[in-house]
Amino acid sequence: MAGHAGTFHQRLAEALNSSTLSLALDRALPTFRQRRALAFQGEDFPALQADLAARRAQHVAQIPDLLERFQQAAERAGAVVHRARDAAEACALVGDLVERYGVRLVVKSKSMVTEEVGLNAYLSARGVQVVETDLGEFIVQLAQEHPSHLLAPALHKTREEIARLFSALAGREIPPEIPQLVAFARDHLRRFFIEAGMGVSGANIAIAESGTLVILENEGNARLVTTLPPVHVALVGLEKLVPTIDDATAILKLLSRSATGQPISTYISFITGPSRSADIELSLTTGVHGPKAVHIIFVDNGRTAMRDDPEFRAALQCIRCGACANVCPAFQEVGGHIFGHIYTGPIGLVVTPFHHGLEHISDPQRLCLGCNTCDTVCPAGIPLASLILSLRERVVARKGLPLPKRLALDALAQPALFD
């Protein structure tokens, strides 16, 4: 799959020499920054940040208890809750469900956890067609790449590159005009929502008191993915658990502002169990207009290890807004395919060792300039810069220093050389 092929230095050179990448990043990232700044104008951001950081630290401390409470509440509402210790278990659980329900076509809304566990490749290898319906994910899937940004998967692509991809799919020329590109994607994807046997989503928040999933989006595709197919499967990282709807609201207040500069996202879905009705003789029936079955898979895949690490447990406070990448000077120059692994940007560097292994960030971490700008925008108060510095120490402890630095330090350790 493109985006991770070649050595780090080859990919870095390609990124630095790519005029289309710099054009795409220049078109998108300053806009993200301006919108975020406007969204917080007149707000006491440090106070909001301190409040959310304190809440999120509490949530992380309570994860095992919140999971129990979520499971009880969700199952009372008719959903089925599963737990996956790692990526292989998460994929196998979805594989079992696909088999049980005889599914041949899956539609998906944006979910970084499914990227993390490699779900698309797993299902495709079993002959199941997977169609990404988020516009950015659809583009990335067509290009056979990974997302380059937590929020905007196709941030690295210009509209001209996207027009070429869509034209090849359509068998006719689609002009590089954004309204035409969006219209093509809408027309192309519509039938898949109806024909799919399963919709797979992530979730931004999981509310323990009611067993509710909260999904934020602007396009409307997540609503279709989670309501039109007869089965909805949600893959959710353990860090998404919060105790109450009040805690969910605290996240909602900062998430869209930090992510896209909107006071609130266009669509916010609260999903508590399968669709139901008691309109006929007050007899409760499931699967009316929405799915008859809802399965929620909580994914650990390194999160418990992160929680057990006194320094890195703070990374679980992340609400995945992407703001840290938007302000990062290194990300601005090289984009997420270089500056990260599956998760990109500053938070990507921090969580990747726990999900995928330290070796995947041993080169990208060198791009961090230590400017601390990410810390100043993180709504969850995560000390990203110091965590990246700690990772650097762990990488050096594992691999040793790069040769030029080792030689320089060896020289400094021999004062006689300077006489």
Could you tell me the sign of the dihedral formed by the alpha carbons of 343, 351, 268, 72, in that order? Answer: positive
Between 231 and 351, name the residue whose CB sits nearer to ligand SF4.
351
Segment near ligand SF4 (CB under 6 A); pick from 200-208, 280-288, 312-320, 393-401: 312-320
Angle between helices 159-170 and 19-39 (to 10 degrees): 110
State the Cα–Cα distance between residues 222 and 267, nearest whole angstrom: 9
Q: b/e string for 152-179 if b means 16 or more Cβ within 10 A?
A: bbbbbbbbebbbbbbbeeeeeebebeee
Where in 53-92 is the site for ligand SF4 (CB under 6 A)?
none
Residue 320 lies near ligand SF4 (rule: CB under 6 A): yes
Helices (H), 228-314: 245-259, 303-308
H or E stretch including 269? strand 267-271
Q: Which of 243, 273, 302, 322 binds ligand SF4 (CB under 6 A)?
A: 322
C-beta neighbour count of 194 within 10 angstroms:
10
Residue 36 sits in the site that holds ligand SF4 (CB under 6 A): no
Q: DSSP label at 218?
A: S
**Cα separation, 311 vs 354, whole angstroms:** 13
Whether residue 322 contacts residue 109, with contact meaning beta carbons closer than 8 Å, is answered with: no
| Candidate residues 119, 162, 208, 321; the one interacting with ligand SF4 per rule CB under 6 A | 321
Residue number with CB closer to ligand SF4 (254 or 299): 254
Is beta strand 80-84 parallel, antiparallel or unpaired with respect to 293-299? Answer: parallel
Task: Pick the stretch among 62-70, 134-142, 181-189, 378-386 that binds ligand SF4 (CB under 6 A).
Answer: 378-386
Q: How many residues bind ligand SF4 (CB under 6 A)?
A: 16
252 binds ligand SF4 (CB under 6 A): no
Smallest separation (angstroms) from ligand SF4 to the CB of 91: 25
Does 206 sit near ligand SF4 (CB under 6 A)? no
Tokens of 156: 């690295």
Write the binding mask 379 to 398 for ligand SF4: x where contact by CB under 6 A, - elsewhere. Answer: xx-x-x--------------
Q: According to the binding rule CB under 6 A, does residue 378 interact with ligand SF4?
A: yes
**The one among 79, 128, 323, 342 contacting ligand SF4 by CB under 6 A:** 323
Among 103, 252, 318, 342, binds ligand SF4 (CB under 6 A): 318
Lay out the site mask for ligand SF4 across 170-199 (x = CB under 6 A, - = otherwise).
------------------------------
- Return the number of the residue (273 or 379) whose C-beta is nearest ligand SF4: 379
Report d(CA 192, CA 197) in Å as an integer: 10
Q: Are 296 and 80 in contact (CB under 8 A)?
A: yes
- Tell me how far, at minimum, the Cβ of 147 lies from ligand SF4, in Å: 13
* Token pair recorded at residue 399: 């691999």
Helix, strand, coil share of the chain (percent; to 5): 55, 15, 30
114-143: contacts with ligand SF4 (CB under 6 A): none
Nearer Cβ to ligand SF4 (36/337): 36
Q: CB of residue 326 vs ligand SF4: minimum separation in angstroms?
A: 8
Q: Using CB under 6 A as the criterion, which residues of the chain lie in contact with ligand SF4 when the complex forms?
A: 150, 258, 318-324, 347, 377-380, 382, 384
